[in-house]
Amino acid sequence: MCIYSEIVAPRLKTPVSVFVTCAIIPLVPGRGLFNSMQLYIAGDNLHASKAILQTLLIAGTISIAIAIVSSVTNLINKLMNRF
């Protein structure tokens, strides 16, 4: 999805972030955030901490993947423009 965004955005003359934002909305771990807050309110701090850590790891992985794809795409574009 991020590769698609990097390819299509210049052709449609729109920012890449428009496509990336729409693509990651289904991937945002909202259920994990909801469950962890529910556990905190219920007083189960141990399981809530575990749930929030897992949710943050998922969100971090998504953001790292987007950054890697964006960086590789920019590198490829610079190399193609050079030759």
Per-residue model confidence as pLDDT tens for the chain (83 residues) = 678 888 888 899 999 889 888 888 888 888 999 999 999 999 999 999 999 999 999 999 999 999 999 999 989 989 988 87
Whole-model pTM: value is 0.77
| Per-residue confidence (pLDDT) for residue 56, from 0 to 100 | 94
Element (H, E) at 28: none
Helices 45-82, 2-12: inter-axial angle, 10-degree rounding: 50
| Per-residue confidence (pLDDT) for residue 48, from 0 to 100 | 95
| Per-residue confidence (pLDDT) for residue 3, from 0 to 100 | 83
